[in-house]
Chains A and B, each alone.
Chain A
């Protein structure tokens, strides 16, 4: 799966009647992550993987397809400093963290400058 067909793949899952379970990310290099999307139907879990996504580049948001992905995407924004384009409800790094926190927790040696 690539960044370009991500939203359409997720749309397919929704049309098949799958339930969105959650998203996970795992660091694969200093500045790249694997993004995993987990879906469920009839107790079968399907995983979609967006491999080696550079942290600096924005990922298209799937919150337009599954509204509930909004919380998970905002969480990853907090924890990894990832960016999502087209988030329906954007907390801009303040879902869990406070404005005064300037480090990205799960990525080493990475600081953020406050933006308004």
Chain B
């Protein structure tokens, strides 16, 4: 009974952490805009936290470079299981407009497994919220599997 309560609340009130991984800021400010009064994702129980050990869902914006890939891997490893990763924007998916630059490794999926890709350059808040909802479905499946 208590276990199922926790299981339910994890999927119904996910805590997200946002990591900027070499993006141009366009996607970051849209992620933040999701938290502010116009879009207000907190009404769905989504809380933005700064500590990876509290987080269920990782939002990553931007391309991966040689220096921050270690930070990204480190943050991902610190998050408790089960967890979901959402890559935001064209850069998070493939490297976007920067993919030819020398210090760009590529999309987020080169370093950690990604569950949902949100398109757009920059992605709109509506699209980000959509992506989070999509990610939560996968997250719920993972919670079920973990039992």
| Bound Cα distance A96, B65 (Å) | 10
Q: What A residues does B67 contact at CB under 8 A?
A: 97-98
Q: What class of interface size applies to chain B in its complex with A?
A: under 10
A103 touches B102 (CB 8 A): yes
| 13 A–B contacts, CB within 8 A, in A order | A96-B103, A97-B66, A97-B67, A97-B103, A98-B65, A98-B66, A98-B67, A100-B66, A101-B66, A101-B103, A103-B102, A105-B102, A105-B103
> What secondary structure prevails in chain A residues at the interface with B?
loop
Residues in B43-78 with C-beta less than 8 Å from chain A: 65-67
Contacts of B102 in A (CB 8 A): 103, 105
User: When chains A and B are docked, how far (Å) is the Cα of A70 from the Cα of B67?
Assistant: 21
Measured CB to CB, the closest approach of chain B to A109, in angstroms, equals 14
| B103 surroundings in chain A (CB, below 8 A) | 96-97, 101, 105
* Number of residue pairs A-B, CB distance < 8 angstroms: 13
User: Which residue of A has the minimal Cβ distance to B68?
Assistant: A98
- CA A97 to CA B102, docked complex, whole Å: 10
- Of the four ranges (under 10, 10 to 19, 20 to 34, 35 or more), the interface on chain A belongs to under 10
Contacts of A100 in B (CB 8 A): 66
Residue of A nearest to B67 (CB): A98
Chain B residue with the shortest CB-CB distance to A96: B103
**A65 smallest CB distance to B (angstroms):** 30
Nearest neighbor of A105 in chain B, beta-carbon distance: B102
Which single residue of chain A is at the shortest CB-CB distance from B101?
Answer: A105
> Complex Cα distance A103/B102, Å?
9
Chain A residues, CB < 8 A from B65: 98
Please measure, in the bound complex, the distance between the C-alpha atom of A103 and the C-alpha atom of B103, giving whole angstroms: 10
**In the complex, which residues of chain B have a beta carbon less than 8 angstroms from the beta carbon of A97?**
66-67, 103
Query: What is the distance, in angstroms, from B20's C-beta to the closest C-beta of chain A?
Result: 16
Cα–Cα distance between A98 and B67 once the two chains are bound (Å): 5
B64 to chain A, nearest CB (A): 12
Minimum C-beta distance from A114 to chain B (A): 14
- Would you list which residues of chain A between 70 and 116 have a CB under 8 Å from chain B? 96-98, 100-101, 103, 105
Binary CB contact string for chain A from 25 to 65 against chain B (1 if under 8 A, 0 otherwise):
00000000000000000000000000000000000000000
Per-position binary interface string of chain B over residues 99-136, scored 1 when its CB falls under 8 Å from any chain A CB and 0 otherwise: 00011000000000000000000000000000000000
* CB closest residue in chain B, given A94: B67
Known: A97-B66, A105-B102. 11 other contacts (CB 8 A): A96-B103, A97-B67, A97-B103, A98-B65, A98-B66, A98-B67, A100-B66, A101-B66, A101-B103, A103-B102, A105-B103
